[in-house]
C-alpha cells in the first residue's frame, strides 16, 4: 500500500512550480496532496493534482498582526486534523510563510519534514524550520545564509524542471531570424515592456529578429500592435502552460532570475541575460543569476543599469557569436548528467532512507 505525503506551497510560481514537479517525482511511491494558498492555485492544473487550500495570511503587517496570528492558530488546527485524517506520514515544503500552519501541525504530530530550497539564498521560512527537518533539497551546498551546523542536512539535486522538458529538442538553429524571448516571470516586469520595445525595433532594422514576449494580459494588444506596425515578427502572451515551447524556439532570453525559469533555460541550453528583480527577498534573484554567471552560462544586467547596458549586450551577441556559443557549451556541460531519472532516483533514495 502506498504511503501518504503532503507538499506545502503557495504564493508565487517560484514556490508552486517546484512543488508540482516534486509532486510528480513522489507520486510513484506515495499518494500526494498539495496544500496551497489561494494565490498559488493559478500555477498548477487543478484537474491533475489533489489539493487543499490553506490560505495563510502574511505576518508582516504590525497593525493586523493580532488578527493574523489568531488566523494562523486556527489554520494550524485545521492542518492538524487534515494531516491526521489523511494519515499523512511525511511533509515537504518549498518554503514561504504559506507553509507555516502545515509545518507547525506536522511538528505537533511528530511527522518527518523535508524542505526544498530552489533559490541560491536560504529562504526565511526554510531557515526557521531547519532544526525540525530531516533533510533539505538544494541545488548546491553553497547556499547563502545557510547555518554551518545544519549543512549535513543538505541533499544536492539538479534544479527541478518538468519531466517533458527533458524530451524537448530545439528546432533547426540555421533559421533566418534571431529569436529573442522576453519573460518577466510570475511577478511580471514592466521595465521590459517600457524600455525594450524601441530597442528591438532599432535592432530589427539592422538584423532580422523575432520577439516572443510575456506581458500583462492588459498589455498584449498594444504591444503586439506596436511590433506589427514596425514590421517586427512577434508572439505576445501573458501565461502559457507550455512555456518551454517558447524557450526552444528562442536563441536567447532576457529574463528575471526566478529559479524555475533559469532552470528551464539551462536544461534547454538557451543562454540568457538575467535582470534580477531588485526587490526580491535577500536579493535571491541576483544570487540565482550569479550561480550561472560563475559557470559562464549567462550575462547579468542589473535593473538600475538596464537602459544603458542592454543595447550593448544584445548587439555584442548579434554581431559576434563567439561568447554566445561558449555559453551554450557551458550550459551543455552543466547539464551533462541532468536527467529526470537521475533527479528522481536521488529524491526517492533520500526519502526512503530518512
Model confidence pLDDT, tens digit, residues 194-222: 888 999 999 999 889 999 998 888 888 99
Q: What are the Cα distances from residue 177, in Å, to 11, 112, 180, 187, 208?
A: 37, 52, 10, 29, 5
Residue 4, classified by CB atoms within 10 Å of its CB into exposed (0-12), middle (13-18) or buried (19+), is: middle
> Which 3 state secondary structure label does DSSP give 178?
strand
Burial 102-118 (b: 16+ CB within 10 A, else e): bbbbbeeeebbbbbbbb
Q: Is the pLDDT of residue 60 over 90?
A: no
**Per-residue pLDDT at 187 exceeds 60:** no
Mean per-residue pLDDT of the chain: 91
pTM of the model: 0.91
Q: What is the pLDDT of residue 281?
A: 86
3-state SS, residue 95: coil
pLDDT at 309 over 70: yes
In the predicted model, is pLDDT for residue 68 greater than 90? Answer: no
Average pLDDT over residues 95-121: 95
Tell me whether residue 353 is exposed, middle or buried, using C-beta atoms within 10 angstroms of its C-beta: 0 to 12, 13 to 18, 19 or more.
exposed
User: What are 314-333's pLDDT values in tens digits?
Assistant: 999 998 889 999 999 999 99
pLDDT (0 to 100) of residue 243 = 84
| pLDDT given for residue 265 in this prediction | 96
Q: Give the residue extent of every domain in the chain.
A: 3-158+338-353, 165-334
Question: Coil, strand, or helix at residue 45?
Answer: coil
Is the model more confident about 273 or about 189? 273
Helix, strand or coil, per DSSP, at residue 312: helix
Express as a percent the part of the chain with pLDDT over 70.
96
Fold of 165-334: Rossmann fold (3.40.50)
pLDDT at 188: 52
The pLDDT confidence band at residue 172, using thresholds 50, 70 and 90, is low
Residue linked to cell 530545439:
170
User: Does the pLDDT value for residue 186 go beyond 60?
Assistant: no
- Residues 322-340 as b or e (16 or more Cβ within 10 Å = b): eebeebbebbeebbeebeb
pLDDT of residue 289: 97
Residue 20: per-residue pLDDT: 96
In words, the CATH class of domain 3-158+338-353 is: alpha beta
Amino acid at each position: 500500500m502506498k504511503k501518504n505525503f503532503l507538499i506545502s506551497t503557495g504564493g508565487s510560481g517560484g514556490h508552486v512550480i517546484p512543488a508540482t514537479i516534486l509532486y510528480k517525482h513522489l507520486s510513484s511511491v506515495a499518494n500526494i496532496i498539495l496544500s496551497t494558498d489561494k494565490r498559488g492555485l493559478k500555477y498548477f492544473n487543478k484537474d491533475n493534482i489533489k489539493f487543499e487550500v490553506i490560505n495563510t495570511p502574511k505576518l508582516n503587517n504590525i497593525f493586523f498582526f493580532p488578527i493574523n496570528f489568531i488566523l494562523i492558530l486556527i489554520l494550524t488546527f485545521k492542518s492538524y486534523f487534515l494531516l491526521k485524517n489523511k494519515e499523512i506520514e511525511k511533509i515537504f515544503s518549498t518554503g514561504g510563510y504559506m507553509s507555516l500552519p502545515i509545518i507547525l501541525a506536522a511538528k505537533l504530530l511528530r511527522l518527518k519534514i523535508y524542505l526544498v530550497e530552489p533559490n541560491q539564498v536560504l529562504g526565511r521560512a526554510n531557515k526557521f524550520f531547519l532544526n525540525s527537518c530531516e533533510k533539505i533539497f538544494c541545488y548546491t551546498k553553497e547556499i547563502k545564509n545557510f547555518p554551518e551546523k545544519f549543512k549535513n542536512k543538505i541533499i544536492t539535486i539538479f534544479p527541478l524542471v518538468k519531466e517533458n522538458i527533458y524530451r524537448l529538442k530545439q528546432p533547426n538553429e540555421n533559421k533566418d531570424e534571431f529569436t529573442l524571448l522576453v519573460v518577466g516571470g510570475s511577478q511580471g516586469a514592466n521595465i521590459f515592456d517600457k524600455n525594450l520595445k524601441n530597442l528591438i525595433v532599432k535592432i530589427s532594422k539592422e538584423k532580422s529578429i523575432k520577439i516572443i514576449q510575456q506581458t500583462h494580459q492588459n498589455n498584449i494588444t498594444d504591444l503586439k500592435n506596436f511590433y506589427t506596425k514596425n514590421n517586427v515578427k512577434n508572439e505576445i502572451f501573458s501565461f502559457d502552460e507550455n512555456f518551454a515551447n517558447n524557450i526552444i524556439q528562442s536563441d536567447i532570453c532576457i529574463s528575471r532570475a526566478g529559479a524555475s525559469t533559469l532552470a528551464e533555460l539551462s536544461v534547454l541550453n538557451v543562454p540568457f541575460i538575467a535582470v534580477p528583480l531588485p526587490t526580491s527577498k535577500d536579493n535571491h534573484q541576483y544570487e540565482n543569476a550569479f550561480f550561472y554567471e560563475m559557470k559562464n552560462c549567462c550575462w547579468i544586467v542589473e535593473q538600475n543599469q538596464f537602459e544603458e547596458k542592454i543595447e550593448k549586450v544584445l548587439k555584442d551577441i548579434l554581431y559576434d557569436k563567439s561568447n554566445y556559443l561558449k555559453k551554450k557549451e557551458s550550459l551543455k556541460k552543466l547539464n551533462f548528467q541532468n536527467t529526470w531519472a537521475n533527479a528522481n532516483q536521488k529524491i526517492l533514495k533520500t526519502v526512503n532512507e530518512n
